[in-house]
Amino acid sequence: MLDLGQNLLYISHYNLKFTPGSFRQLYRQEFGHFPCPVDRFGILPHCGITEPLSFVNIVPPAEFNLASGTSDWWDRYVATYQLVADKVYTSAGDRCIAVMYSGGIDSTAVLVALMQHPRYREFLDTGRLYIAMTTTSISEYPEFFYRSILPHIPITPTNYTELMLDDNLLVVTGDDGDHVIGCTDTIEFVPGTDDFLNLPVEHAYTYLAKDKSGLLVDLFKGAVARAPFEIESLCQLGWWIGQCFEMQNTMCRPYFWSNTVDLSLMATDRKVYRFFMDSLWDTFSYEYMSTNPNYTTLGSLRNFPKKYIVNYTGDQSYLNKEKLLSQKLICKLQYKTRIYADLTYRLDGVKIST
Amino acid sequence: MNINLKMLVYQPTNQVVWYFRVPFGMERVVWYLPKLDPELDYKSYYGPEITEFDVFKSYTNYSLIKPDGLGTMSTRAPTDTELKILKLLRARCCAMSTAWNILKYQYENHNILTGPWHDVTDLTVMAEVYQSHYAIDSVAALKLVQFVKQEKSQLANRLCAQKLDAELRLTKAKTIDEINEQFAIINAHNILHTEFDVRTVI
């Protein structure tokens, strides 16, 4: 039974048979296996693309005012960390906080924001703040770990089941931190060069023309036509495509929700606080990206968060940090390959043609 | 040259469902035997290479028989009814063997069974090593080794549970299609991409 009539929140690629030339096959070809594109803004029908799957969007709308620009985006960027950290502590209430720490830029920035907040000591001293990590988390930023984490903050191995089943715990993640400014998963639209993000958006259409069906070009043009502001650069384009298709997958990551009974929590920040998916970051992101900020390389997109971290840790060498490892070393399991809008779910390998 | 064949046989008739050949001198190496089913019995052949018939061919067409006694092997064509049972049992073994390879990859990837943390019980001795290598104090070193040991133990326990889950899923499958369905779930559980259709190997 395929249940194609039911509205989905999430579907695993294990349940998909990618028909050659289909939207999902072409998307996977460019972005890889794991993103599960969900059409957040209902763009696909306008691009002449028929999606056999029916999703219900649970990503909250972004609130922004493109006329309320500021001349000092850095100040606003730093202030947003503090404001969101404040919301995290308030949201935790009497519960403990577990910070998911991969050692990468986003989770480090989240931890730094929480450590700088006035309520940090209160939570730490009462044993209500700890870090969930793996041994690979150490290798990403060893100076910070040995100096600031190991001697001071309790650490525990990342175990999604335990974390998610503990009702006395708020899980804080840095998910989608790389979607706030540009998107580090942007396709390398101009082969042979790293400096391409500031180039005009038309380069993308040239690159995507390799797909003779024209579906991807139509998709990207359709998305651009429905953007909240004019998309001029490849940097803005990568960011906007991420906004259009990739946020819901992050919210529904199966290893988080595999053992959770109340799946309605997925659409909220009551159990998992996705720091960079907070509405304040959304607002910052939309307003900042509307200015077409000048970034050239994918690495340069991380300048703001790196600078934020270094301002706290003092490790200037971190500004040149490249990504070392990923959390693939965590034993991730999924027990739900399809989650429906009515919060029922299935686990099977039945392939649905797309 | 002497060889050692390690086998699972269908108990009522001694027909060989699954086997692997262990070269002389390699008997002590631990191999994985997918003994999921109470209908299967473990037997082994130890002796000279068999020349009277083609062992592999007899195995693949389900005619290999392993009577009791270390050095005996024979052949008999299965009946249609037997063949159906033997194919199902072999399908389970093949699926579990492939599932085990998926899990084995995880064990090896995390160096769980052969790394230095596998057998350690006294964490203070490990803390001394960390203290000198990372120039941290003894309290921090002990905290770190407790974390690493806990991480390894959690992974090992999780993989054991995954193995048990896989065995039970495949044991309960009553048809070849069900075995394929359950294997797809084992794959999805582990977020891995092993393409496998058991029909191609039985």
d(CA A174, CA A143): 20
Taking residues B14-30, report their average pLDDT: 84
pLDDT at position A36 is: 87
d(CA A274, CA A106): 11
- φ, ψ of residue A11 in degrees (nearest 5): -140, 135
Which of B147, B183, B188 lies nearest to residue A157, judging by beta carbons? B147
Last residue of a domain, one of B78, B93, B116: B78
d(CA A188, CA A196): 8
Nearest CA distance, A13 vs chain B (angstrom): 9
Residues in contact with A191: Cβ distance below 8 Å, sequence separation at least 6, in sequence order: A207
Nearest CA distance, B153 vs chain A (angstrom): 10
What does each C-alpha distance from B16 to A83, A304, B85, B170 come to in angstroms?
68, 65, 12, 19
The verdict on B66 and B89 lying in the same domain is no
- Substitution target in B142, B153, B189 with the highest count of A β-carbons within 10 Å is B189
Last residue of a domain, one of B24, B49, B78: B78
The verdict on B89 and B171 lying in the same domain is yes
Last residue of a domain, one of B60, B78, B96: B78
What is the tally of structural domains in chain B?
2
Six token digits for residue B87: 């194919």
- φ, ψ of residue B47 in degrees (nearest 5): 165, -165
What does each C-alpha distance from A293 to A74, A220, A235, B175, B201 come to in angstroms?
12, 20, 8, 59, 57
The verdict on B93 and B164 lying in the same domain is yes
| A77-133 tens-digit pLDDT | 999 999 999 999 999 999 999 999 999 999 999 999 999 999 999 999 999 999 999
HSE on the CB side for A340, CA within 13 Å? 11
Nearest CA distance, A162 vs chain B (angstrom): 11
Is A151's CB within 8 Å of B140's CB? yes
The verdict on B68 and B93 lying in the same domain is no
The verdict on B34 and B49 lying in the same domain is yes
Nearest CA distance, B145 vs chain A (angstrom): 10
The verdict on B88 and B58 lying in the same domain is no
Weakly modelled stretches of chain A, pLDDT under 70: 1-5, 69, 323-331
pLDDT at position B189 is: 83
The verdict on B107 and B192 lying in the same domain is yes
The verdict on B187 and B157 lying in the same domain is yes
ipTM of the prediction: 0.88
Model confidence, pTM: 0.91
**Which residues of B sit within 8 Å Cβ distance of A?**
106, 109-110, 134, 136-137, 139-140, 143-144, 147-148, 150-151, 154-155, 158-159, 162, 181, 183-185, 187-191, 193
The verdict on B65 and B130 lying in the same domain is no
The verdict on B73 and B16 lying in the same domain is yes
Which of A33, A159, A347 lies nearest to residue B188, judging by beta carbons? A347
The verdict on B51 and B92 lying in the same domain is no
pLDDT at position A1 is: 44
Residues in contact with A298: Cβ distance below 8 Å, sequence separation at least 6, in sequence order: A182, A184, A186, A188, A194, A197
The verdict on B9 and B70 lying in the same domain is yes
Taking residues B46-72, report their average pLDDT: 92
How much is the mean pLDDT over chain B? 91
Domain span at residue B126 reads 82-200
Residue B26 vs residue B91, higher pLDDT = B91
Give the relative orientation of helices A234-245 and A215-225 as an angle to the nearest 10 degrees.
Answer: 90
